[in-house]
Amino acid sequence: MDTFFIWLESSTLSLWVRGESGWVMAFPIIIVFHALGMGFLVGVAVTINGRILGLAPKIPLTLLKNFIPVAVLAFVVNAISGILLLIGYPTKALTNPVFYIKLLCIALALWNLNWFNKAVLTNTAYDQGELPIRLKQLAVASTLLWACAIVAGRLLAYTYTKIMTF
Amino acid sequence: MLREISDWLESTMLSDWFISQGVWSWPMSESLHFMGLCLLIGSVGLVDLRMLGMAKGISINAIHKLIPFGVGGFLVNVTTGTLFVFGDADQYIFNDAFRVKLVFLLIAGINVLFFYSTAFQKVKALGPDDDMPLNVKLMAGISLACWIGVICAGRLITFYRP
Tens of pLDDT, residues B77-134 = 999 999 999 999 999 999 999 999 999 999 999 999 999 999 999 999 999 999 999 9
The distance of B105 to chain A (nearest Cα, Å) reads: 16
DSSP B3-42: HHHHHHHHHSHHHHHHHTT-TTHHHHHHHHHHHHHHHHII
Number of other CB atoms surrounding residue A115 within 10 Å: 13
Nearest CB neighbour to B58, from listed A44, A50, A60 = A60
Count Cβ atoms within 10 A of the Cβ of residue A132 and give its class: 0-12 exposed, 13-18 middle, 19 or more buried: exposed
ipTM given for this complex: 0.95
Q: What angle do CA A84, A85, A87 make, to 5 degrees?
A: 60
Q: What is the mean pLDDT of chain A?
A: 97
- Residue of chain B whose alpha carbon sits nearest to that of A44: B42
Q: pLDDT tens across A56-99, in order?
A: 999 999 999 999 999 999 999 999 999 999 999 999 999 999 99
Residues of A in contact with B148 (CB under 8 A): 36
Residues of chain A falling short of pLDDT 70: none
Among A124, A121, A145, A109, smallest CA distance to A52 is for: A121
Contact A46 B38 (CB under 8 A): yes
pTM here is 0.96
